[in-house]
Amino acid sequence: MKKPILFLLATTLPLPFAATPLRAQNIMTPAAGPPLQGDAPTPANEQEVTFAADTLTYDDNAEIVTATGNVRMMRQGDRLRADKVQWNQKTGVVRAEGNVAVVNSSNDTLYGDSVELTDSLRDGVIENLLLVLNDGGRLAAVHGVRRNEVTTLDKAVYTPCAVLDSKGCPKEPIWKISAVRVVHDPNKHRISYDGARISFLGAPILWLPGLSHPDGSGGGGSGLLLPDVKYSRVNGAELGLPYYFQLAPNRDLTITPHVYTKVLPAIEAQYRALTDNGAWQAAGMLTYSSRFAATTGTTPVPNGNKDIRGYIDANGRFQLDPYWTLSGSIRGTSDRTFLRRYDISRDDRLRNQIQAERITPNSYLSIKGWAVQTLRTNDKQGQQPIALPAIDYRLRMADPWVGGTLNIQANSLALLRTDGQDTQRAFAAVQWDMRRYTPLGQEFTLTAYGRGDIYHTDQVGRTSTIVYRGDPGWTTRGIAAVAADMRWPFVGAFLGGSQRITPRVQIVASPKTRNLSIPNEDARAIDLEDSNLFALNRFSGYDRWEDGSRITYGAEWAVDLPGISFNTVIGQSYRLSNKSTLLPVGTGLSDRLSDIVGRTTVKYGRFLELTHRFRLDKDNFAVRRNEIDATIGTQRTYATIGYLKLNRDIAATIEDLRDREEVRLGARIQIARYWSVFGSTVIDLTGRREDPLTLSDGYQPIRHRLGILYDDDCIELGVTWRREYDAIGDARRGNTFLLRLALKNLGR
């Protein structure tokens, strides 16, 4: 009995219905239910088939083996139940009849009135079948035939949706696909439909003649994807209909025509490829329309005749060997308003780069080049830098003389501009760190740092901010610093948990350093905050160095309780000399005594996470920086809050340090089991008091979004309204409506 039963299970269970999005006939589970584990003895090995039946007979003349009465069979975790199983040894036909149910190792269950296998047990016929998939999907058909590995289903229906309500009563599934005939060809990895249609709540809504799609094996296949539907004031109604081409198991192409009611159509494409050592993709979009100047007026100003407009976005990363990696990206657009106009991106700068990296346990080498395309209204493209090349090398090694660690760095950078200042830089640096612990638990760190720089620059007059220019021609600079840092953590029990109080003191000394003679390309956005309070150099880049002597002090308090954690840091620094500093007034570092900075983080399980950063004026405790980021709620109902206010009163001539104030709000509320509403907003609260050069009136909405979503196990349906308030060129302010429809488990 082993051979026929083995083939019965192997042929019936994997009938490629499990990958077939379709369905028809009765989709309710039969009352008898599936066969259970233990109905038949457990097989001793993978080849053995065990069975149990009320009677077993053998007809010598007809050579027919018949098992009848509550037949149960098992092999490799596959289980079969039937009223009768018959094997004709002459014809090779195996037939299971009456309440047939088969469960495979993936826990998919097949029901049928009868299953008949012929032709060396490879082909077969199933009557009145129902397949209940482990993921909840259901497939039913009046008649199923498999010949030469091709399966044909007549009057078939598929749905992944629930067919019972909360009280266990039958209900119409939310959506289903039905067809007169469904054909699955595993050699082509495709499923084809004859007379297919999609029904929603029992009503047909879409006929799909000639529908065909991949069966989920062989890496998928070509076919239509779900359409993208939206409406905007600028472009009108939009329909995007993507078509997917599988070029090879590791390469594909998606082409999406976009049709609009107010503008000419556009074509979008995306190509993706996976190679032996990496992956890359390229996407782009093209259309033909009038260009408009990137102005912020209420009426767009034409800028020439109609022209081809579009964008390109490509990136890739390749692991050449265990140490070397090559990566790059290309982003470009035809004009400054295209990405906003066609709702592709809100980026105001597009960065192109290529980088080769070599990473070992103790060294790092980066060779990079990059260029930037600005999309900002008042920025000049000729002022944007092109870095070619930017090289950085670092080596870490143990100090063989007095202990500690040596970090050696070499760096070079060449910045070119088509209509601006050019700068070339190179330096070599070495840093020595030694960390020791005392018997009392104090952590001491000693640091020594030395660096030699060489710069060359020209066209300095094209940089409008004088303090950023530096001297033209060749300039050299030497940098040295020593530092001592002490932390002393105190740990103990607290309210059923633990707490840690860690005072910290740092002393840094550095001789006077040439700064204004050096161009400033990468250290412009200086601001005192908790992240750089104890840094050796509190400038953000290499072109500026904080010299002089100072002492920095602060403390950290951390509390860990069951389900709750709390961490706060506060600190301040004091310069030991009264010499003037190049740090601008308002950064919190311009006087001998710095402002007070800190950060507080509170977590309550997964329900609350709040981070607050602040800077207080040392003289009157006025809030110069107030930043809050919070997430409150559960996975289904939550709110996010973001608030930032910079009130530093820095001179308006330094454009990188202007003050601002904004609030960001977002929320999702579960209003029923499957229904939720969501929304978000960004509001610019900057006024003339914060930034004298701002055009905002102190309450300027940037973007609003509001939507409603239905999301269950088989469908996702949502409508989103978004309003834009920025008006740049032909990217006008106005409303956009987006419709999202996703039919889940369509294919496996």
Separation of CA 285 from chain center: 22
Query: Judging by beta carbons within 10 Å of its beta carbon (0-12, 13-18, 19+), is residue 96 exposed, middle or buried?
Result: buried
Query: Do residues 17 and 49 make contact, with C-beta atoms less than 8 angstroms apart?
Result: no
d(CA 160, CA 21): 9
d(CA 309, CA 290): 8
Q: What is the pLDDT of residue 191?
A: 73
Portion of the chain with pLDDT greater than 90, in percent: 47
Predicted confidence (pLDDT) per residue in 440-458, tens digit: 999 999 999 999 999 999 9
Q: Using alpha carbons, select from 713, 695, 626, 611 the residue that is nearest to residue 663.
A: 626
Residue 122 has pLDDT above 60, yes or no: no
Task: Output 487 or 11, whichever has higher pLDDT.
Answer: 487
Portion of the chain with pLDDT greater than 70, in percent: 86
List beta partners, residue 366.
357, 392
Predicted confidence (pLDDT) per residue in 246-295, tens digit: 888 899 999 999 999 999 999 999 999 999 999 999 999 999 987 766 66
Task: Output 264 or 74, whichever has higher pLDDT.
Answer: 264
Residue 707 has pLDDT above 90, yes or no: yes
Residue 53 CA: distances (Å) to CA of 38, 83, 311, 578 = 13, 9, 69, 99
Predicted confidence (pLDDT) per residue in 427-444, tens digit: 999 999 999 999 999 999
Residue 23 has pLDDT above 90, yes or no: no
What confidence tier does 729 reach under pLDDT thresholds 50, 70, 90? low
Chain-wide mean pLDDT for the chain? Answer: 85
Predicted confidence (pLDDT) per residue in 361-412, tens digit: 999 999 999 999 999 888 899 999 999 999 999 999 998 888 899 999 999 9
Phi and psi of 571, rounded to 5°? -170, 170
Long-range contacts of 35-44 (CB under 8 A, 24+ apart): 35/72, 35/79, 35/80, 35/81, 35/101, 35/102, 35/103, 36/79, 37/79, 39/72, 39/74, 39/79, 39/81, 40/72, 40/73, 40/74, 40/79, 41/74, 42/74, 43/74, 43/75, 43/76
Separation of CA 172 from chain center: 36
Q: Which residues of 568-592 are buried (b: 16+ CB within 10 A; e: fewer)?
A: bbbbbbebeeeeebbbbebbbbbeb
Residue 119 CA: distances (Å) to CA of 16, 66, 92, 93 = 18, 19, 7, 7
Q: What is the pLDDT of residue 294?
A: 63
Residue 77 has pLDDT above 70, yes or no: no
Q: What is the pLDDT of residue 10?
A: 36
Q: What is the pLDDT of residue 695?
A: 64
Residue 131 has pLDDT above 50, yes or no: yes
Task: Output 292 or 462, whichever has higher pLDDT.
Answer: 462
Q: What is the pLDDT of residue 736?
A: 86
Instruction: Provide the 3-class DSSP secondary structure of residue 382.
Output: helix
98-102, 107-111, 726-730: range with highest mean pLDDT: 98-102
List beta partners, residue 530.
none
Which pTM does this prediction carry? 0.77
Least confident of 627-631, 675-679, 689-693: 689-693
Question: What structural domains and CATH numbers belong to the chain?
Answer: 50-219 (2.60.450.10), 228-455+464-483+595-607+624-649+660-743 (no CATH)
The verdict on whether omega for the bond into residue 389 sits within 30 degrees of 0, i.e. cis, is: yes
Side-chain-side CA neighbours of 743 within 13 Å: the count stands at 20
Predicted confidence (pLDDT) per residue in 513-561, tens digit: 999 999 999 998 888 999 999 999 999 899 999 999 999 999 999 999 9
Q: What is the pLDDT of residue 121?
A: 45
Q: What is the pLDDT of residue 156?
A: 87
Q: Using alpha carbons, select from 133, 235, 279 the residue that is nearest to residue 745.
A: 133
d(CA 418, CA 383): 7
Least confident of 150-159, 531-540, 612-621: 150-159
- Average pLDDT of span 41-69: 80
- Average pLDDT of span 605-623: 94
Which amino acid belongs to residue 600?
T
HEC letters along 62-98: CCEEEEEEEEEEEECCEEEEEEEEEEECCCCEEEEEE
d(CA 215, CA 222): 11
What confidence tier does 626 reach under pLDDT thresholds 50, 70, 90? very high
Residue 24 CA: distances (Å) to CA of 142, 177, 628, 683 = 7, 8, 55, 52
**Which stretch of DSSP H or E encloses residue 8?**
helix 2-12
Tokens of 534: 């104890």
- Average pLDDT of span 705-709: 94
